[in-house]
Amino acid sequence: MSTTGQIIRCKAAVCWEAGKPLVMEEVEVAPPQKHEVRIKILFTSLCHTDVYFWEAKGQTPLFPRIFGHEAGGIVESVGEGVTDLQPGDHVLPIFTGECGDCPHCHSEESNMCDLLRINTERGGMIHDGESRFSINGKPIYHFLGTSTFSEYTVVHSGQVAKINPEAPLDKVCIVSCGLSTGLGATLNVAKPKKGQSVAIFGLGAVGLAAAEGARIAGAGRIIGVDLNPKRFEEAKKFGVTEFVNPKEHDKPVQQVIAEMTNGGVDRSVECTGSIQAMIQAFECVHDGWGVAVLVGVPSKDDAFKTHPMNLLNERTLKGTFFGNYKPKTDIPGVVEKYMNKELELEKFITHTVPFSEINKAFDYMLKGESIRCIITMGA
């Protein structure tokens, strides 16, 4: 492409300070350096993690910054040493990576790459610590190594999944974070057998993706647990068959579920980050074979407390990161599940806005109206 090796000027939605609307700016995007690729972003979507760091609650604020980490685009150019990607490839940039060389990448059981594991504090690129974004010579910080709220972005090649070019990027862009986290928690970690019962704690986007995983696995009963009764109707589209609102019961929810299921569910997936929900999700699984999987991120001072007999009675507690998917190796296969009509993505997409109206996506999420809002970059 004619822009190879050149600085590209393009539009980006810049966050100048915590909690303030993003501002459309012209930014300069430097060419990719060693092991980096520059991507033209065509579609991006808003995830709760973007909102959390935009609000700057509970972490070191780093501004000005370009948020965004669920997206689909096309490789514009590649830096030195990049051999597995080339201009024109259809890709999903991903907030965590796969270097291919570390013990985690060599392990069949782990996706927690030593080099490219999620880092929320880093505002520059790994190669030199510098930002590839600037306005009038002043750096604008990166977010999660992706920064997809920009028409062009630079990403480490280990954080880029090359996908089927026939896949519609306005749909499969949501595979690059929340959807795969929930889906993989069920399919790769909880692994329900056909006909088994599954409880999903939290019916936001990740919880609904976990329910979708249970539906694909052929679960017999999928019990949704949420404090918001408005979510129950929507969740039926994702295979949820029964609902429990803990506020409507005067006994612990794990007891309610045990009574509903003759001793407990076969599998549970917790997608809230609430320590109470984590304990409930573990204690509601059946003794002898029950497996509980924790997905939600707790507060830093939380402690998980349960009686050791719950473990000795052969219940299993597991944790997962990004659904145990390796970004480069496994995410193309998730896209193929959609292409083969096993996985339904359209029902996750509740809103679409042009890039110029990106702040509307934040409004929808803050009001609890959206599951996923697609932001169309060219519009």
Entry pTM = 0.95
Residue 150 lies in a domain: yes
Q: Strand 267-270 vs strand 197-201: parallel, antiparallel, or unpaired?
A: parallel
**Catalytic position from the list 99, 173, 271, 284:** 99
Which of 274, 303, 320 represents a domain boundary (last residue)? Answer: 320
Give catalytic status of residue 113 as yes or no: yes
What are the tens digits of pLDDT across the range 188-226?
999 999 999 999 999 999 999 999 999 999 999 999 999
pLDDT of residue 7: 97
pLDDT digit string, tens, across residues 10-69: 999 999 999 999 999 999 999 999 999 999 999 999 998 999 899 987 677 899 999 999
Length of the chain: 379
Q: Is 106 one of the catalytic residues?
A: no
Tens-place pLDDT, residues 77-102:
999 999 999 999 999 999 999 999 99
**Is 218 among the domain residues?**
yes
What is the count of structural domains for the chain?
2
Task: Output the six-digit token pair for 42.
Answer: 């065509």
The catalytic residue among 35, 65, 69, 104 is: 69
Structural domain including 289 reads: 182-320
- Compute CA distances 363 → 21, 34, 89, whole Å: 10, 38, 33
15 assigned to active site: no
Domain match, 14 and 130 both: yes
Annotated catalytic residue within 15, 173, 177, 271: 177
Question: Residue 271 belongs to a domain with what CATH number?
Answer: 3.40.50.720
User: Distance between CA atoms of 271 and 210, rounded to whole angstroms?
Assistant: 8
Annotation says 10 is catalytic: no
Q: Are 187 and 213 in contact (CB under 8 A)?
A: yes
